[in-house]
Amino acid sequence: MVTASREFQVMVKPIGAVCNLDCGYCYYLGKKDLYPKAKLFRMADDLLESYIVQHIEACPKKAILFSWHGGEPTLLGLDYFRRIVELQRKHRPAEREILNGIQTNGTLLDEAWCRFLAAEGFYVGISMDGPKELHDRYRITKG
Ligand code: SF4
């Protein structure tokens, strides 16, 4: 495995382009059409583990940052992210630190999600366009 010569960031999209919103300016929703035969957009457990191992090995810094994006990553469910943290703990070298960031539209965040994200120290980015009259103009639901 090659270790990078300097810090880098990978935006991981374990649910591909699947999202529960239908924002008017979204550049990514259409990427789902690149996989017309796909029935399930969900990074499989073995691939997830391989990615985590390889990302840890490739990162040159003591602190290893994972950035979870979508689509909407919270559609994968809380247990999926519990598994991510479990795999990271399994493969984290003793002297290294693992950090997680998640970018979400925030619509599915409830008490359980917030407790998990806080307990595991996730950096949380919530996509918003501003006050309601601006936000609701383009950030619409599928319906
Ligand atoms: S929340 Fe993000 S991924 Fe979902 S439709 Fe809006 S811009 Fe696209």
127 lines ligand 1 (CB under 6 A): yes
Query: What pLDDT is stored for residue 55 in this prediction?
Result: 97
Q: Where are the domains of the chain?
A: 11-138
Query: What pLDDT is stored for residue 143 in this prediction?
Result: 87
Question: Distance from the CA of 65 to the center of ligand 1, in angstroms?
Answer: 22
Whole-model pTM over 0.75: yes
- What is the rounded CA–CA span in Å between residue 107 and residue 82? 19
Query: What pLDDT is stored for residue 125 in this prediction?
Result: 98
> In the predicted model, what is the mean pLDDT of residues 105-110?
97
- What is the rounded CA–CA span in Å between residue 47 and residue 32? 19
Domain 11-138 bears CATH identifier 1.10.357: no
Q: What is the pLDDT of residues 66-101, one digit of tens each?
A: 999 999 999 999 999 999 999 999 999 999 999 999
- What is the rounded CA–CA span in Å between residue 136 and residue 58? 40
Residue nearest to atom 6 of ligand 1 (CA): 23
Contact criterion met (CB below 8 Å) for 18 and 75: yes
To the nearest whole number, what is the mean pLDDT of the chain?
Answer: 95
